[in-house]
Each structure stands twice: as structure tokens, then as C-alpha cells.
Amino acid sequence: MKLTPQIIAPFVVALALAACGADSGQAGDPALGEELYSSKLDPESELFSCAECHSLDGSASRGPTFQGIGERASQRVAGMSAEEYLRESIVDPQAYIVEGFFFRMPAVFGPLLTDEDINNLIAFMLAQ
Ligand code: HEC
């Protein structure tokens, strides 16, 4: 079989799509992220929402406020971008414990969230 552009084109498109899908840095939607932030992620359990532990107005809660988190996130861990740090904070919260916090963030949210959910939450936090 001769490989004409008509035959090759669909493979090129599929490859390009696969490459995009593998990119965890896809821009999320901050409005959808805000919805997730204030909803109970597992309505069947006693799990808290992000909002119950993280304020947006600078006030203290169980966890650090999200006010200014967009700027702070890039300075938390040397060599980690804001986006990488925020992603790790959700899927592996014990990897870096914010100083002064006795209470540890539970590592339960990663499995409840899709990649898209996490991207939306990150976009929301970056805007704070
Ligand atoms: C039960 C309380 C609780 C819930 C619910 C919670 N967190 Fe946290 N979170 C914490 C605590 C406490 C810390 C600080 C201690 C630590 O680093 O583990 C923290 C730290 C963080 C940090 C790092 C903040 C910084 O200033 O560096 C991010 C980002 C974060 N949480 C995101 C989230 C997101 C997104 C959700 C919802 C999916 C969420 N958290 C739900 C308690 C919580």
C-alpha cells in the first residue's frame, strides 16, 4: 500500500490529540474550579469541601488561606512552578507541609477528582 497524505492524515491527527491529552498542563476553567472548591467532593461521606479548610479572604481556618496563593505557590518549593506545586498539594498533600500547620491535609481528594477537575481547581487557585 502506498502511504498517501489521505491515509497518513488521520494518524497525524490522532497522534496530535494523544499528545494534547497527555499534557497535564492544559488550562483549566477557574469558574468550574470555584464550583469544585465549594462543593463536597464526596457527598456520601463526611469529607469536607476545600472551602471548609481554605478561606479566600485571608482568614485563618484549618488550612492556609487561598488569598494570594497564586503568587505564593511558585515560591513554596524550589524548582517547582506554581502549577506543579498546586497539583502536588492536591494529589500528594503530605509531600510538602506548610509551616505552622499542625493539621495535615488529608490525601483523599486526588482519587475523587479527574485530571480536568484538578486543572480547573488549579486555574481557580492561580487566580486568587
Ligand atoms: C480537612 C481540611 C482540608 C481540606 C478539606 C482541604 N485541605 Fe488543603 N490543606 C489543609 C491543611 C491543614 C494544609 C496545610 C498543611 C499541609 O500542607 O498539609 C493544606 C494545604 C493546601 C495547599 C497548600 C497551600 C499553601 O499555602 O501552600 C493547597 C494548594 C491545598 N491545601 C489545596 C486544597 C484543595 C484544592 C482542596 C479541595 C480539593 C483542599 N485543599 C482541601 C487542609 C485541608
DSSP character at residue 67: T
Residue with cell 477537575: 117
For the question of whether the overall pTM of this predicted structure is more than 0.95, the answer is no
- pLDDT grade for 23, boundaries at 50, 70 and 90: very low
Class of domain 28-126: mainly alpha
DSSP character at residue 93: G
Closest CA to 77 of 87, 64, 63, 67: 87
99: its cell numbers: 509551616
SS3 (DSSP) at 58 = coil
> How far, CA to CA in Å, does 14 sit from each of 11, 21, 31, 107, 125?
5, 10, 30, 35, 32
pLDDT in tens, 86-109: 999 999 999 999 999 987 898 999
From 32, 53, 87, 116, mutation site for ligand 1 pocket: most ligand atoms within 8 A of C-beta: 53
- Atom 31 of ligand 1: nearest residue by CA position: 89
What is the predicted pLDDT for the residue at 25? 53
